[in-house]
Amino acid sequence: MNMTADAPLLAADGVPLAVKLKRAERRKKLRAALLVAPLAVFLLATFILPIALLLYRSVENPEVPAMLPKTVSALAGWQGQGLPDEAALGVFVQELTAAKDNKAMVGNAAKRLNMEISGYRSLLTKTVRAMPLDPAAGPLREQFVNIDERWAEADYWRVLRHQDSRYTGFYLQSSLDIKRGADDSLHMAGDDEAIYLKIFGRTLWMSAVVTLFCFLLGYPLAYWLVNLPTRKSNLLMIVVLLPFWTSVLVRVAAWIVLLQNEGLINGALMAMGFVDSPVQLAFNRIGVYIAMVHILLPFMILPVFSVMKAIPPTYMRAAVSLGSHPIPAFWKVYFPQTVAGVGAGALLVFIMSIGYYITPALLGGPDDQMVSYYVAFFTNNTVNWGMAAALGSLLLIATMALYTLYARIVGANRLSLG
Amino acid sequence: MKKMIQLAAVAAVASVFAGQAVARDLTVVSFGGANKEAQVAAFYQPFEKATGQKVVGVDYNGEVAKVKAMVEAGKVTWDVVEVESPEVLRGCEEGVYEKIDPKLIGGKAAFLPGTVSECGVGIFVWSTAIAYNADKLKTGPTSWADFWDVKKFPGKRGLRKGAKYTLEFALLADGVKPADVYKVLGTKAGVDRAFKKLDQLKANIQWWEAGAQPPQFLASGDVVMSSAYNGRIDAAQKEGKNLKIVWNGSIWDIDSWVIPKGSPNKEQALKFVQFASKPENQKTYSHKIAYGPTNKSAVGMIDPKVLPTLPTAPANLNGALGINVQFWVDHGEELEERFNAWAAK
């Protein structure tokens, strides 16, 4: 009998049972993987890949290294004073001449350099037009200064020397208001130029305010909906959801109509004699808050509602019948059970608010714009995709950091959509 | 790795758009509003009638980045685009536009100087000037100094959101002569001076972005005066609104046709540019909206009644200045960014 103790168990066809089980398990796993494959591919193509590209774009710096690879390495030996030596200038001339017919390449490099010093664009295109230079016609240093006096300034060469890598922290630094000084040291931008840190702070603050108001308005409404008879609560639910199904743009436009100086609300206020002149409600912070809270309210109401729906009303009755005043009973018995829904709703509203663009753009003034506005500005107006990507990346990182923090405090497993 | 990522992304995007690359109508992009209405009557409809080629009009607010994105992606859906002059130069230098042979439109000499370049053909001369509602202001402003004077003219003012024009106007208000504006603006101290002047007015500014907004703001009384494209004010006057233009201190610019590189309708696009540049069509356009023609022969065909409303009328050029294209090509990005920083404070 003891000889079977070490021998493997065999299935009917003589294959060890463990192997057979493993095979079956593998098949099952494969089938599961095949089932999720379409979704995985979809997510990869539409979500993960674009985000990876976005992060990559924010540090990519191909423009100048592509056009002047040898020049930037030749400039590495330059001392930072006066013009570079004739050999380096010779390389520069060669590469400028070679790039003469590739307008797109020159244009992109000129644009990149113009971000460092305004005016570099025309300096570079002008110099390319003057190519080729004849080395026999005199020292190249003089010829460059003859093309444009700016070549005599060390700053232009310093910026060029710094373009030696295909990767740069320039965009991310600029997005955090960090500038590079003449001695290559990093420092915070002055008051006139600093902008993005303030914008990030404003974005988070406005999102927090919107979340708070959504909670203050949404929570009682959800509570009321839960405690109404089903027929009435269904009807009211439709009223909550109806705007939810309408395009955001339409709703924002409707708010403009209502809130503007000659709009319905101001008209009514003036007709009833509450105010003499119109109250500024649109194109400022108030208008943005009103519209954003309105648009995002369903995202708070729905999770809170579904969590409340699952709470038996007997708990409250029990607390009251055991002698508690209804208010402490509500606070100590009912509210803690809704925290999961509130948490989920708040997180949804907050994260959606952070990325808001169209509502502040249409209903706000220049000092009500959030980060997305600047992403759009750099994408659409100045065609500076590095900056747009850098701002987007920082926004993504901030959102993820907040989510992690939030999950730590509230507990991710305690979030509930119902 | 990078190539792989790009290839995968291109493949993903391409598969979505595959099958859409069929022949489509000629797409002409303009600044919309009254300007587009005039273009439809003067260019689109006659062109359709003459060639049988259908024209689709699209509006935008000067976001040339879209053109660049299309050209870089090799998926050009705009065929002819109306752009402001710094954009002609900048885009041309970056290789975003097709070159246009001046012979096609009858040679450079047939046009006002500076209106035809390597990639662009001037459509019209337009101006940004002060406008006010004469029904609400009995005595209007006469200069940018008045525009800044909130004691004499209390109320909000409209300005185009952006550094271009705004900085020039601030310097004019601060007493800089039109001829010196770009010299002053070319220095750090000059830029600081312009922003300092803007600080004084900031609380009273209502920004606009689309050209159709200033006439609306003025008519509704949201602002007492505004910078505005002169043609939009003229259009509102034709609708019976009592709006007035102050030409002193106005800045004129030229809008041009460009053809995005790689447009599948390039042949038709060139034909359209050629057609729209003909004097008789430019004349029709100027009669519909008060912008001056670029074709010299069109200037003579303009109705004498229309002439004084155009930015090119000698009386209107008095105290006006032309935009410095090279200045904005070089300093545009830096100043727009600084303007944003300032506006967001």
A200 conformational bin, left if phi > 0, alpha if psi -120 to 50, beta if neither: alpha
Q: Is residue A340 part of a domain?
A: yes
Residue of B nearest to A105 (CA): B94
Evaluate whether residue A97 is within a structural domain: yes
Determine, yes or no, domain membership for A190.
no
User: Hey, are the CB atoms on A198 and B344 less than 8 Å from each other?
Assistant: yes
Chain B residue numbers with beta carbons less than 8 Å from the beta carbon of A262 are: 220-222
User: In whole angstroms, what is the distance from residue A284 CA to residue A296 CA?
Assistant: 19
Q: Among all chains, which residue has been given the structure tokens 């987007």? A: A392
Instruction: Give the residue-averaged pLDDT of B261-287.
Output: 94
Do A240 and A132 lie in one domain? The reply is no
How high is the pLDDT of residue A417?
61
Candidate CATH numbers 3.30.930.10, 3.40.190.10, 3.40.50.2300, 3.50.50.60; the one for domain B127-252+321-343 = 3.40.190.10
CB A381 within 8 A of CB A269: no
pLDDT of residue B11: 52
- Which chain A residues contact residue B161 at CB under 8 A? 366
- Between B94, B340, B345, which is nearest A108 by CB? B94
Supply the CATH classification number for the domain B24-125+254-317.
3.40.190.10
Residue A186 in domain: no
CB A383 to CB B65 under 8 A? yes
**Average pLDDT estimate for B198-208:** 92
Rounded to whole angstroms, the Cα distance separating B333 from B163 reads 9
Same domain, A212 and A341: yes
Which residues of chain B have a CB within 8 Å of the CB of A179? none
Say yes or no for a CB contact (<8 Å) between B331 and A103.
no
Radius of gyration over alpha carbons of chain B, in Å? 21
Please state the domain count of chain A. 3
Please check whether residue B188 touches A, CB under 8 A: no
Q: For residues A46 and A43, what is the distance between their CA atoms, to the nearest angstrom?
A: 5
> What residue has token string 């119109």?
A278
Q: Are B82 and B97 in contact (CB under 8 A)?
A: no
The answer to whether B24-125+254-317 and B127-252+321-343 have equal CATH topology is yes
Residue by residue, DSSP assigns B159-194 as EESSSTTHHHHHHHHTT--GGGHHHHHTSHHHHHHH
Nearest residue to B156 (alpha-carbon basis) of B220, B110, B67: B220
Q: Residue A6 has what pLDDT? A: 65
Question: What is the model's pLDDT at position B98?
Answer: 94
Q: Residue A321 falls within a domain, yes or no?
A: yes
Is there a contact between A353 and A206 (Cβ–Cβ < 8 Å)?
Answer: yes
Q: Are residues A50 and A121 in the same domain?
A: no
- Please check whether residue A179 lies inside any domain of the structure: no
B338-341 own/partner pairs: CB under 8 Å, 24+ apart:
B338/A192, B338/A193, B338/B163, B338/B191, B338/B195, B339/B162, B339/B163, B339/B166, B339/B167, B340/A195, B340/A366, B340/A374, B340/A377, B341/A192, B341/A193, B341/A194, B341/A195
Helices B85-93 and B325-343: crossing angle, nearest 10°? 100
Residue B250's pLDDT band (cuts 50, 70, 90): very high
Q: Do A29 and A139 sit in the same domain of this protein?
A: no
In a domain, A400, yes or no: yes
B333 at A interface, C-beta within 8 A = yes
Which of residues 268 through 327 in chain B touch A, CB cutoff 8 A? 326
Q: Does B9 touch chain A (CB under 8 A)?
A: yes
- Structural domain including A140 reads 63-168
A232 in the same domain as A163: no
> What does the pLDDT read at residue B338?
87
Q: Which of A57, A84, A103 is the last residue of a domain?
A: A57
Same domain, residue pair A211 and A360: yes
Produce one character per residue of A102-115: b if its CB has 16 or more CB atoms within 10 Å, e if not: ebebbbbbbbbbbb
Same domain, A262 and A312: yes
Rounded to a whole number, what is the distance in Å from the CA of A261 to chain B's nearest CA?
7
Domain identity same for A8 and A150: no
Q: Are residues A222 and A258 in the same domain?
A: yes
Mutate to test the interface with B, among A381, A385, A387 (most CBs of B within 10 A): A381
- Whether the predicted pLDDT of B327 surpasses 50: yes
Note the ipTM here: 0.73
A244 & A298 share domain: yes
Q: Is B195 on the interface with A (CB under 8 A)?
A: yes
Exposure on the CB side of residue A300, measured as CA atoms within 13 A: 26
Burial state string for B130-148 with b = 16 or more CB within 10 A and e = fewer than 16: bbbbeeeeeebbebbebbb
Q: pLDDT band for position B15 (50/70/90)?
A: very low
Tell me whether B59 touches chain A (CB under 8 Å): no
Instruction: Identify whether A173 is part of a domain.
Output: no
Share of chain B above pLDDT 70, in %: 93
CA angle B101, B105, B110 (to 5 degrees): 115
User: Does the pLDDT at position B5 exceed 70?
Assistant: no
Distance, in Å, from the CA atom of B315 to the CA atom of A246, rounded to the nearest integer, reads: 52
Which amino acid is present at A301?
I
Q: How much is the pLDDT for A1?
A: 46
B169, B213 in Cβ contact below 8 A? Answer: no
For residue A383, list chain B residues with Cβ-Cβ distance below 8 A.
64-65, 68
Per-residue pLDDT of chain A (418 residues; tens, 9 = 90+): 455 556 777 877 888 888 888 999 999 999 999 999 999 999 999 999 999 998 999 999 999 999 999 998 888 888 878 888 888 888 999 899 998 888 888 988 998 999 888 889 889 988 998 888 887 888 888 899 988 888 988 889 989 988 888 999 999 999 999 988 777 788 888 777 788 999 999 999 999 999 999 999 999 999 999 999 989 999 998 988 887 888 888 999 999 989 988 788 988 999 998 888 888 888 889 999 999 999 999 999 999 999 999 999 899 889 999 988 889 999 999 999 998 899 889 998 999 999 999 999 889 888 899 999 999 988 887 778 899 999 999 999 988 888 888 777 776 666 666 5
How far from chain centre, in Å, is Cα B210? 10
Write out chain B residues lying below 8 Å of A283, CB-based.
206
Cβ contact, residue pair B12, A49, below 8 Å: yes
- Nearest one of B329, B66, B70, B258 to A110, comparing CA atoms: B329
Nearest Cα to Cα of residue B229 among B64, B14, B62: B62
How many Å apart are CA B330 and CA B163, to the nearest integer? 13
- pLDDT category of residue B62 using cuts at 50, 70 and 90: confident
Q: Which DSSP helix (H) or strand (E) runs through B227?
A: strand B225-229
Same domain for A146 and A234?
Answer: no
Please say which residue of A168, A185, A212 terminates a domain: A168
User: Which chain A residues have a beta carbon less than 8 Å from that of B337?
Assistant: 195, 382
DSSP assignment of B32-71: -HHHHHHHIIIIIHHHHHHH---EEEEE-SS-THHHHHHH
Domain boundaries, chain B: 24-125+254-317, 127-252+321-343
- Are residues A367 and A232 part of one domain? yes
